[in-house]
Chain A
């Protein structure tokens, strides 16, 4: 899989590139708008990651130019402007997905993969990561032959962790993104919820519970293992 990254901010580009590298993806980087356009129009890229804020050129214009020339390479837009009108402008110009800043590199990688898979006709209703299957419509989770329907909160939690495999999330982060609480109520809500999911999904006789992809990181939080 080869990705074209159009990003002028060198430090962000470096982070993303590191993510691509560790995910075994090939990539090409570009910070200049005009060069980016000619590269985007060439064949050989499975997906394009485009930062909308480029010096001198508007990312939207590049996107529009690519689409006007009939090029259908999937494009994920990175933007500091994730508000509705900006989002709509992005989609109208032909973006396939968007990721607001700040974002986790792991999530970007997962999204790029999902996008490419979708373009290849694969069904993206079901997420599969490290042996855990999650149906995004029915909220059904499957691991080691054991399937259950998760509650809305449990589902949001698992999906959130699963979207950035390998990333260590703190309880504060999880509380903020899953519960919408931007403070730590000094509770064990997160732990209780994870315990419940574990209990639901790990069959009493079967695989070693240690293989369950969600692991606790002492003093920090949780991580969805990337196997």
Chain B
């Protein structure tokens, strides 16, 4: 932007200087003589004194020597008939007749010719006024010299002005850039502070040009619609989750009652239990959707307390020993890793990672649960072998309802909401959650969040 505007300004500047050296300029010099004749022509009464006229002409032609200008006058009516285009030169300069052509069809009383006197070219102009004929001659060399002088002057000017105009261009460019970019920079700053959560940011409209004001107003309008849509979407999920809870309570209540009343161990009791387990699952999904909706709205509420993560992980590790078939337990959990967080949410996060590591494991597989502190942060790592994972899945792993399309036939329960929620919880804790696949068949999930000081 800056360089661009500087170039434009500098080019403009230089082209102005160049224009002054245009051929037109040359013509203007040659016509100075004619100009003076036109001026004389317009006068009511013109002096008959040739000397006075010469001085006047000289005055308009700076840098011309008096010898290079000649003016002759002659009373009107002395022209021989049939020779109106002639002018007899004084004997002192050859005495011959000069043949002239009208300088301009609009001014037939002014004629023009080039005369050679003693091998010098003279521009001769004849003016027929009301009472006399004036012949003025200017040495062409004088005109040329004038042009040369002017051109020299011009290049001197260019040399002197060039650095100055460059400086001027730089200053103008800086100011211009500042002025034009200021609102853009403000928009950029505002948009910077806006992540996908906080859409409440609006760009303040200040004394901008109209085009820019419109742009900002439009942008703000867009943000508002986006925010509204976002709020509606998350309100909808939240309301839907709440509304689902009442029918879920009723379904579960009656199913549980039927189970308790059924003949113990009967087929119908076992079938009812299956229904009840599915209701539990629906309840889980509802709960997760609600938490996600709250996270989307930036309202994931946390009930902060001091939590010993080492204890939670140790408990998981000891549960692993009870698994059937058992999984080989790997990794190490450092003692006394303490964080300040919402216990229920963190538990949900860890349980999810633990569940995944068990669910998507291989027969006779292993599971690595490690935790350590590093630079004031807690790192928790879950790793396990898995069926080959499509690399394309890795980028979608945190999307809602996305599940790895594993080739094996083992039926795995899951909602595809778990990891998405896990990441929201990690973010709400000021941390991060990373999903990596090593060599296509080893999954690593790493949580990082600040330790409690």
**A binding-site residues for B, Cβ under 8 Å:** 9, 11-12, 15, 18, 53, 80-81, 83-85, 100-105, 152-153, 166-168, 170, 172-173, 176, 179-189, 192-193, 217-221
Contact = CB atoms under 8 A, between A and B. Distances in A.
Contacts of A102: 245, 248-249, 251-253, 279, 283
A84 B302 contact: yes
A180 B345 CA distance: 11
Contacts of A193: 322
Contact of A185 (B246, B250, B280, B358): B358
B246 A80 contact: yes
Nearest to A172: B277
A80 B301 CA distance: 16
A219 B319 contact: no
B351 interface: yes
Contacts of B359: 183, 185
Interface string B89-103: 000000000000000
Contacts of A220: 259, 265, 269-270, 273
21 contacts: A9-B250, A11-B254, A80-B242, A80-B243, A81-B242, A101-B248, A102-B249, A153-B315, A166-B260, A167-B256, A167-B260, A168-B260, A172-B277, A180-B351, A182-B280, A182-B281, A187-B322, A188-B324, A189-B319, A217-B269, A219-B270
Interface string B405-428: 000000011100000000000000
Given A183-B414, A193-B322, A15 B250 contact: yes
Nearest to A18: B257
B375 interface: no
Contacts of B252: 102, 104
B348 interface: yes
A165 to B, nearest CB: 11
A176 B283 CA distance: 11
B382 interface: no
B254 to A, nearest CB: 7
Interface of B: 242-243, 245-246, 248-254, 256-257, 259-260, 264-265, 269-270, 273, 276-277, 279-281, 283-284, 290, 294, 301-303, 311, 315, 318-319, 322-324, 342, 347-348, 351, 354-355, 358-359, 412-414
Contact of B315 (A152, A181, A217, A219): A152
Contacts of B347: 180
A189 B246 CA distance: 31
Contacts of A80: 242-243, 245-246
Nearest to B276: A170
Contacts, number: 122
A219 B246 contact: no
Contact of A11 (B250, B279, B290): B250
Given A12-B253, A101-B246, A192-B322, A170 B301 contact: no
A168 B355 contact: no
B245 A182 contact: no
Contacts of A100: 245
Contacts of B269: 217, 219-220
Nearest to A81: B242
A173 B248 contact: no
A157 B173 CA distance: 75
Given A83-B301, A170-B273, A176-B284, A182 B355 contact: yes
Nearest to A8: B246
Given A182-B281, A183-B355, A15 B253 contact: yes
A170 B277 contact: yes
Contacts of A176: 280, 284
Given A172-B277, A193-B322, A15 B257 contact: yes
A192 B414 CA distance: 24
A109 B247 CA distance: 20
B289 to A, nearest CB: 13
Contacts of B414: 183
Given A102-B252, A181-B354, A218-B265, A83 B294 contact: yes
A15 B254 contact: yes
B348 A180 contact: yes
Given A12-B249, A172-B280, A173-B276, A85 B301 contact: yes
Contacts of B319: 153, 179, 189
